[in-house]
Structures are given as C-alpha cells and as structure tokens.
Amino acid sequence: MWAKKEMADYLLRQHRVLRPYNYPPDVPGRGWCIVNANGYRLAVLNLQGRTFMHPIDCPFRAADRALEEIGDQADAVVVEFHAEATSEKQALAMYLDGRVAAVVGTHTHVPTADERVLPGGTARLTDLGMCGPVVSVIGMDADTVIPKFMTALPSRFSVASGPVAVMGAIIEIHHATGKCHSISRIMEEYDDTIR
C-alpha cells in the first residue's frame, strides 16, 4: 500500500479502506471502520504483526486500545491480522477470544486449515489465503520469482496467469452477542486465465 504515494490521500477519503491500526499515530488513514449491514454495525479492525515484519507498535496492546475506542459503536468486531508468523496470529486470536467475533489472518496468501470457534466464541483462521492465480508463487509468476531465490538479487515479479481461486471464510455471527456461531473456509477455483 505504501509503495503508491497516491494511497495516502485515498485512505483519507475512503473510510472503508484501512491500514494497520498499530502504525504510528501520524500515519495517514485509519485502522478500523464500521460497516453497516442492514442496520447491523460490524466493526472491522486491521492490525499488523511484528514477527518477521516491520517493527511497529505492539498489535496486542493496540487491539486493546482499538476495542476501547470502538466501544458500543459496533454490534460485533472482526479483526483482520496482517502477519507472517502463524504463532503470532494464533496468539492474537487467543488473546482476543471472547472479545471479538473473529480474528482472521492475511499476508502469506496461503490458507491454513486451523479454522475454529475458540472457547470464548471468537472464530479463528490463521490465514484466509488470497484471491488470485493458484499455479504460482503466492500469486506471482514462478519464472519471475525463482531467480530471486537462486541469485539473492532483487527482481521484478509479475502476476501469474492460469486458473484462479477465491479463498476466504464464511463466518456466522450471533446477532445479539456479537460472538461467533461457525466458521468455514472456502476455496472456489475457476479456469479463467487472468491477464
């Protein structure tokens, strides 16, 4: 997101496009928003991990602060945790169990098989995967990625072609409690070639 300078203005205009809440305070954009779904107020909170990533503010403490800010403005809260390490993502889900409807991860582009409703009623899935070409290296053309591993030199990646998949999860939230009923992983594959 930060590679495109134009995004800074866009983030200020589009309240549903989030950046991680735990960036320093003067960074453009916002870390949570409320989506109104037929009168049901669903808060979406975006956080970023620190393990094997940019060292930014603690996502655990930031989650506490964000939940306090959101307070009773929302009926339920879904957390999207953009992080590399499965352990950090599972740890945040356990930390927030019972306080949010779901903690789902992104960033690796590879879906995990650990979807579960935790004891406190929070749905957890360490990584949702991606929407993109599946005969690839996390969505990129392998021919543009392999040289980077073999030479240790930077290279320009391009998006792969071939069959594409939509990955994610369907999460059922109990209306009154804001806790989760069920989570199921989805992966729908299509033969379309993207160009």
Q: Which of these ranges, 2-10, 101-109, 143-151, 180-188, lies near Fe ion under the rule CB under 5 A? A: 101-109
**18 neighbors 46 (Cβ within 8 angstroms):** yes
Which residue has the closest beta carbon to Fe ion? Answer: 107
Given candidates 107, 127, 160, 178, which one binds Fe ion under the rule CB under 5 A? 107
User: What is each CA distance from 121 to 26, 102, 153, 172, in whole angstroms?
Assistant: 34, 8, 46, 11
Nearer of residues 40 and 52 to Fe ion, judged by Cβ: 52
Report yes or no: 163 and 191 within 8 Å, Cβ to Cβ. Answer: yes
For 186, the 3-state DSSP assignment is: strand
For residue 20, report the phi and psi dihedrals to the nearest 5 degrees: -55, 135
Among residues 130 and 180, whose Cβ is nearest to Fe ion?
130
Give CA–CA dist 155/176, Å, rounded. Answer: 51
**Binding status of residue 179 toward Fe ion by CB under 5 A:** no
**Of 39-47, 57-65, 71-79, 107-115: span binding Fe ion (CB under 5 A):** 107-115
Question: What single DSSP character describes residue 100?
Answer: B
Nearest-angstrom CA–CA distance, 153 and 176: 54
Residue 45 CB, shortest distance to Fe ion, in Å, is: 17
Q: At its nearest, how many Å lie between Fe ion and the CB of residue 127?
A: 11
Least distance between Fe ion and beta carbon 131 (Å): 14
Q: Which residue ranges make up the site for Fe ion (CB under 5 A)?
A: 107
